[in-house]
Structure 1
Amino acid sequence: MNKFVTFFITILFFVGCNSQKVSVDYDRNVNFSQIRTYKINTSVSSGLNDLDQARLYDALEKNFKFRGVQKSEQSDVEVTIKPREFVSTNAGPSVGVGVGTGILNSVGGGISIGVPMRTKSLNQEYTVSMYQNNTMIWEGILNLKMPVNASAEVKQQNMDKGVAKLLANYPPKK
């Protein structure tokens, strides 16, 4: 029974720490259905380590391809990526510890305190911008949150889910 409780709490911890939030803005005058090719501007330093960059590029390529937009050097649009990463400490639930006494005739008193459970999270923010003729036409911001010591598989899953959520409504409908 004790192993089950520990396992359940661990699952809740990881589910609570893994999240993706997105926001998107775009030029309503652009016909996105005509965009068939893209390229990623690699001349702008992404600031990502090679592994995270490969995960992001792979997720973007899969999701664009699913939407009929292919990677090409001769492209309709250029995509730039600006990442930001930081570690935050989250005050999670607290564990209550208490002491109490009871006196005759149902009168009692007690003292209790909450011991906070703190966790650290890796926060990654990716601003993905799309340019056509040097004019921004689409921008999406993806915020990923996961445990600091997340495995490569967890990072890949978060990236795939996050990019899918970011591009869920692409191409935008007028």
Structure 2
Amino acid sequence: MKAIKLFQILLLLVLSSCSSVSVYSDFDKSVNFSQYKTYAFHRKGIDKVQISELDKKRILNAIDIELGKKGMSKSENPDLLINIFTKEREQVDVSQFNLGWGYGWGWGWNPYLWGGQNFVSTSTEGTLYVDLIDAQKKELVWEGEGVGYLTQNRTKKEERINEFVAKILAQYPPTKK
């Protein structure tokens, strides 16, 4: 029984270590990004996002902080419009843990009779998209995407959202290679 508890603890540690955010971005190579100094949120687009209002506020606040670090400021007459989209999907993982011992594959002596224990775990993978739109031309000029596991833990939710946004916007402005 202690071995099963140990396995469950190890499984939780492995799953919690998968907390990194994978980020991707794309941009219009013909755009000079140094021209953009101000921004505003694209309210019509953001209002359509189907997440809680509290999470929207958390995301927008994190964007404000990250763009402020880059020397940008909010404006009523912005150079860029910021829009966000979200997507989530449920991950179901099934694993088998066999503590039995015996001879090779197949039959052998096993304290759990027929091959051990099955463990099912679920997690939610979320994707956050941040789009930067040229306010004058009304054209998308940069898009960033962050993919990672979400948390329902209220105390860690804001921290997780900040991590998503910081890693996405770390790729803005793009560097031409």
TM-score, normalization by structure 2: 0.78
CA shift, 1:78, in A, is 0.7
Say which structure is richer in strand.
1
Report if aligned partners of 1:144, 1:158 keep a CA contact under 8 Å in 2. Answer: no
Matched residue of 2:108: which SS? strand
Aligned to 1:88: 91
1:134 and 2:132 aligned: no
Distance 2:9 2:99 in 1: 22
Question: Aligned partner of 1:163: which letter?
Answer: V
Instruction: Quickly say closer, same or farther: Cα 1:146–1:116, change in 2 above 3 A.
Output: farther
Give 1:153 shift: 2.3
Q: The residue matched to 1:43 in structure 2 has which SS?
A: helix
The 3 A distance-change label for structure 1 pair 67 and 114 is farther
Question: For each residue in 1:108-160, what CA deviation from the matched residue of structure 2 results, as whole angstroms up to 9, or x when unmatched?
Answer: x726635342211122212211111211100111113134xx31222111111
Deviation at 1:165, TM superposition (A): 0.9
In structure 1, what residue type is equivalent to 2:171?
N
Cα distance in 1 for residues equivalent to 2:96 and 2:70: 45
Q: Does 1:65 align with 2:65?
A: no
Count of residue pairs brought into register by the alignment: 161
Counterpart CA distance in 1 for 2:150 and 2:31 is 35
Identity %, equivalent residues: 27
Give the whole-Å Cα distance in 1 for the aligned partners of 2:157 and 2:15.
12
Matched, 1:144 2:148: yes
The residue type equivalent to 2:70 in the other structure is R
Distance in 2 of aligned mates of 1:73 and 1:94: 57
- Aligned partner (choices 41, 48, 51) of residue 48 of structure 1: 51
TM-score (norm: length of structure 1): 0.79
Local SS of the residue matching 2:120: strand
Deviation at 1:94, TM superposition (A): 3.5
Name 2:170's counterpart in structure 1: 168
Q: Which runs of 5+ in 2 are unaligned?
A: none
1:8 to 1:120, Cα distance in 2 relative to 1, 3 A: closer
**In the TM superposition, what whole-angstrom CA distance separates every residue of 1:72-102 from its partner, at most 9, and x where no partner exists?**
22100111111112322123x542231537x
Unaligned runs of 5+ in 1: 102-108
Answer yes or no: is the 8 Å Cα contact 2:128–2:164 preserved in 1: no
Structure 1 residue 20 displacement after superposition? 1.1
Give the SS at the match of 2:60: helix
